[in-house]
């Protein structure tokens, strides 16, 4: 009898602790991702006569799945904006970890700025480099 009471009590306690978690999951934003295809390859500024290349795969995170269609429509504009930002970067920033993060943030800000002018709303929640290669 004592084992049954303990088991029922443990079940009730576990349910009570899991209820707030379930409610939070229902209220959480539904993020969706859009990958720019194909990957972006462009030059960056280097010292001397050698060429510097950077290759990135970009994923755009939106907090509303219905915005994916808008991203597909504006994909050429988004790609051009990211290429513009990357091609203006120097070798030191491209090759450093902190520089990579500042480039990512610059791309996010510039893309949101351009999309705000086109759509009158902030579209992108975050921009991620899921592949980042340089030479």
The tokens 């500042």 sit on which residue? 102
pTM: 0.77
Domain ranges of the chain: 32-134
Give residue 10's pLDDT: 56
Q: What superfamily in CATH does domain 32-134 come from?
A: Band 7 domain (3.30.479.30)
Give residue 16's pLDDT: 58
Examine residue 38 and say whether the peptide bond preceding it is cis (omega within 30 degrees of 0). yes
Ranges of residues in the chain with a pLDDT under 50 are 22-23
Between CA 85 and CA 82 the distance in angstroms is: 5
Query: Under a CB-based contact definition with an 8 Å cutoff, are residues 93 and 102 in contact?
Result: yes
């Amino acid at each position: 009898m004592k084992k049954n009471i303990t088991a029922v009590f443990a079940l009730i306690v576990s349910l009570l602790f899991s209820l707030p978690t379930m409610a939070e999951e229902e209220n959480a934003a539904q993020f969706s991702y859009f990958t720019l295809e194909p990957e972006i390859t462009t030059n960056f500024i280097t010292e001397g006569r050698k060429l510097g290349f950077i290759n990135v795969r970009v994923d755009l995170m939106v907090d509303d799945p219905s915005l994916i269609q808008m991203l597909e429509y504006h994909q050429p504009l988004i790609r051009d904006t990211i290429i513009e930002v990357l091609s203006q970067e120097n070798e030191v920033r491209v090759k450093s970890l902190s520089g990579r993060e500042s480039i990512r943030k610059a791309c996010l800000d510039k893309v949101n700025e351009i999309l705000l002018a086109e759509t009158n709303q902030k579209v992108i929640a975050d921009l991620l480099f899921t592949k980042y290669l340089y030479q």
